[in-house]
Every structure is written in C-alpha cells, then in structure tokens.
C-alpha cells in the first residue's frame, strides 16, 4: 500500500507504540495521585510540555494536554469567549472543528464574522483589517489549510491585529503545520495554538493547546481540576508520552526539503496529462490539491484504493458532506469540486512510491474517463 492521505492521519511510530504500551501496562500510575510513582509520571508529563514549547520556539506560556485538536480548538474559542458586545472573527477556510464552533457561537447570539479566502487560498487580509475594532475578542485562523495546503501569513495577521485591535486574542489552528513547517512563537506572538499528535506520527486521541497567558482562558470541562484546572479528566499519559517522542523524533528541516521533492515529483507526473489540473497554492509541501476533468473524485479515490494507493477527497472530518466550503469560497465550480482529490505526503515515502502512485492515478483516471465519456 502507498499511503497518500497523511493530512487525515499518519502512521504512529513503532517506538511510540512501544512507549505507549510501557506507560499503559507498567508505569500506569495516575499523575494526580499522591504517592511517589505518580509524582514521577507527573514529571514525565512536564518534560513533554517542555519538548513541545521548545519545538514552538517560545519562552513564555504553557501547554494544556487535550484529547486532540478538536478539543483544543473548542477550548481556545469557547474558553476565551466573554459576554457583552464582544466580536469574533473566523476564516471561511477553517477546519470543521473551528468553523462549526463559530456557527455555534453565532447561534448563541455572539457577533461572529467570517473572512473570505483569496484565489491563492490564503485569507483576505484586507477584509480582516476592515472587520477588526475595539470590540474584537478573538481572531481564529488556520495556519495551513487542511484542504489546499495554503499557508496563512501569521506574522502579517499579528501585525494587523496589533494595529487595528491590539487587545484581540489570536488563536491558530496549527494542526497541519506543527512539526511540519517552521514556526517561532517568540517571533510571532499568538495567544493560542492547537496541535494534534496523530498528524505527526503520534497516537490518536491526544493533542495540546499552547496558551500564552492562562488568564485569557476559562475551562469548558469541569471535574477534578487536572491540567491546572483548565482541562479536567485524567491525562492520557501513554498518549502524551508517545506524542512527546514523535515531537523529539521529527527532523523538521530534513523532512520539509525531502517532502518538497516528493510533491514536485508527483506534480511532474500528473502534469503530463493535460486533463489533470494541479491546484498548487504555493503552500505546504505536505498537501497537493488536484482535480481530474470529467471524473468524480470519490470514484477515482475508491478505484485507486483497490490498486493499493490511498488518497483523500478532503477533510476526513467532513467527507460525508456534499460540496466543499473551502474550495467553493476560493472560486471552484461544482464540477471541479466533484473531481477534486487531496494528495498528502510524509517523509516515510520514497520517490519510487510517488512514481508508482502517480502512474496508477493517471492510468486509473484514463480508464474511468474512457468509460464515462
């Protein structure tokens, strides 16, 4: 099998699975307990926090461990909301775990605005400027689009915030960027940054939220007061430790350059067919958006899966819903959206994998097209 849906999830490190088992079956103690063994577990969790903060290149703030990016996004948005005439700004291109939270805020009577996307997949920065005012409480933007790979300019967003609404908080959905593209939160001072372990070879069901100042956050999960009271519930110790290992094992610079070569190879192969259209948004090398004329993307996805090549049609969290909010907003028509596939890479792949997968995609596409036209 050649797996090219790494934006949906990645294979967990074998070492991480071994470490998870150790903490599940041997060092299984509850870190909130009062005896010495539990205290050692708590120290191990603190070590992972430091590892993540180091990867984010930030010298202030903390990490709150969560059950994944959906919870991290919910905590950042719902935990930072305040009553009164406060306003909230979101990207139309946000992941469902952000976009649908925004819609819930709107239903609850909060003043919510959405920023459209440009043709290059980035947010409309001029529109963002116009929406900001002294009532703006939160700006929530994806760093890298899970649909297109387009990279939003966080430095520019922070500069716009500082100029037009300096008291506003900034939440970044960093799920498709953490451990994939470089970022220094010492240089780009956002208030919240969400991450998910299974997007960078950690386990599913665990994630984190970077918080610059916990005074800007209120808990949305009540219970025993774990995670300094901001996320009650016994920590997923094995998952957190395995996530920390995945962070440590990531060679970001090497992976980035290598994955660029994989994406370039796939583009070269697919571009040989004039009916295959590359939507290269000059974004993350980990994600390639492409559409195949006159063939349904889901049909092609299922056909190549039967031949051992796994690709996606877009966000796995919204794959059962008709249409594509992100591509529609960029300007894709219905036929282009129906014919769309998302190919996403990781550093475990070889150039030979890409060559074989590209050939299978083209061959299968032409077989289907010959039958439907």
Residues forming the active site? 317
- Dihedral class, residue 204 (left if φ above 0, else alpha if ψ from -120 to 50, else beta): beta
Pairing of the two strands 287-292 and 276-279: antiparallel
Look at the chain and count its residues.
373
Residue 230: burial class (beta carbons within 10 Å; 0-12, 13-18, 19+): buried
d(CA 264, CA 274): 17
Neighbours of 322 (CB within 10 A): 8
User: DSSP secondary structure string, 307-334?
Assistant: TTEE-BSS-GGGTTSSS-HHHHHHT--H
> What SS3 state is found at 237?
helix
d(CA 188, CA 209): 16
């Amino acid at each position: 099998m050649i797996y090219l849906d790494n934006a949906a999830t990645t294979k967990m490190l074998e070492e991480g699975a071994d470490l998870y088992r150790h903490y599940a079956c041997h060092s299984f103690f509850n870190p909130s307990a009062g005896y010495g063994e539990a205290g050692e577990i708590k120290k191990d969790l603190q070590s992972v926090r430091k590892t993540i903060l180091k990867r984010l290149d930030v010298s202030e703030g903390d990490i709150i461990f969560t059950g994944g990016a959906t919870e991290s996004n919910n905590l950042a948005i719902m935990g930072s909301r305040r009553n009164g005439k406060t306003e909230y700004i979101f990207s139309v291109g946000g992941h469902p775990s952000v976009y649908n939270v925004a819609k819930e805020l709107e239903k609850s009577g909060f003043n919510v605005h959405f920023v459209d996307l440009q043709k290059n997949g980035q947010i409309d920065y001029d529109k963002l400027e116009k929406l900001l005012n002294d009532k703006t409480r939160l700006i929530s933007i994806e760093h890298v689009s899970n649909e297109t790979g387009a990279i939003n300019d966080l430095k520019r967003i922070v500069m716009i915030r500082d100029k037009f609404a300096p008291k506003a908080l900034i939440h970044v959905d960093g799920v498709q960027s953490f451990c994939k593209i470089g970022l220094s939160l010492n240089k780009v001072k956002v208030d919240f940054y969400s991450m998910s372990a299974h997007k960078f070879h950690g386990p599913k069901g665990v994630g984190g939220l970077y918080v610059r100042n916990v005074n800007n956050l209120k808990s949305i999960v009540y219970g025993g007061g774990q995670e300094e009271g901001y996320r009650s519930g016994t920590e997923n110790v094995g998952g957190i430790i395995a996530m920390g290992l995945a962070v440590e094992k990531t060679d970001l610079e090497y992976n980035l350059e290598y994955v660029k070569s994989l994406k370039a190879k796939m583009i070269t192969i697919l571009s040989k067919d004039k009916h295959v259209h590359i939507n290269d948004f000059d974004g993350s090398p980990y994600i390639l958006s492409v559409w195949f004329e006159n063939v349904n993307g889901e049909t092609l996805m299922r056909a190549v899966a039967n031949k051992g090549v796994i690709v996606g049609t877009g966000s796995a969290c919204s794959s059962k819903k008709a249409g594509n909010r992100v591509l529609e907003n960029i300007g894709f028509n219905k036929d282009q959206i129906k014919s769309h596939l998302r190919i996403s890479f990781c550093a475990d792949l070889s150039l030979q994998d890409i060559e074989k997968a590209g050939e299978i995609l083209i061959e299968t596409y032409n077989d289907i097209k010959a039958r439907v036209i």
